[in-house]
Amino acid sequence: MASDFAVGIEIDLQIPDFMDASVPLGQIANKVADDSRRNIRQQTNVNGSAMARLSVKTIKDKRRKRSQYPNLALYRTGIMFNAIHVYNKGKNNFEVGIIPRGSPSRDLLALIHAEQGVNQHTRITRTFLGMTSATLKWANARMERWLNERAQKAAHKFINLKY
């Protein structure tokens, strides 16, 4: 005598779409670019310390050439300030850098200012491009919000198994 015995299993899966994070990553990259411009305006390095003041000779030279902001380091004509740019390198891939414009190229000048220092004797560096600890904290919170949004908007998949 055979008995009928059946088991039904219903599974409700949520499958979030984590494949394209271009929106939050683009927002983070734009914030880094904005912070870099703010660092030049406020004369602060990425780590929050004040940038070294310009020498009296440099300020006089900038005034003679009618620079708009003679006391601001990294701002003579505004080319480098305006060349801070967010590059969209592809899906989920952004880069913040300096557009290579002007003569000499502003991306090269930014590298010299940040890495080597301008004056061969003092080697004063001014690191304006990068992520501050506050920006890093904000970026992590932004990505967590995005992950939570993706999880909440996840498509439901129902699987019915019968044995």
pLDDT tens profile 38-97:
999 999 999 999 999 998 999 999 999 999 999 999 998 899 999 999 999 999 999 999
Q: How far apart are CA 132 and CA 111, in angstroms?
A: 18
As a whole number of Å, the CA-based R_g of the chain is 26
pLDDT of residue 10: 80
Q: How far apart are CA 128 and CA 139, in angstroms?
A: 18
* Contacting residues for 37 by C-beta, under 8 A, at least 6 apart: 81, 84
Chain position carrying tokens 């129902």: 158
pLDDT of residue 138: 97
pLDDT of residue 140: 97
- Side chain identity at residue 125, one-letter code: T
pLDDT over 70 at 1, yes or no: no
pLDDT band at 154 (very low <50, low <70, confident <90, very high): confident
Task: Note the Cα 146 to chain centre separation in Å.
Answer: 16
What are the domain boundaries of the chain?
Answer: 8-162
Q: How far apart are CA 84 and CA 30, in angstroms?
A: 10
Helix (H) or strand (E) holding 151, with range, is: helix 133-152
Nearest to 81 by CA among 49, 52, 109, 46: 109
Record the pTM: 0.80
pLDDT of residue 2: 63
Q: What percent of the chain has pLDDT above 70?
A: 98
Q: How far apart are CA 109 and CA 162, in angstroms?
A: 69
Chain position carrying tokens 């498509």: 155
Judge contact between 41 and 72, C-beta under 8 A.
Answer: yes
- Which of 86-90, 99-103, 106-110, 121-125 is the least confident region? 121-125
DSSP class of residue 44 equals B
Q: Other C-beta atoms within 10 Å of 128: how many?
A: 25
pLDDT of residue 22: 94
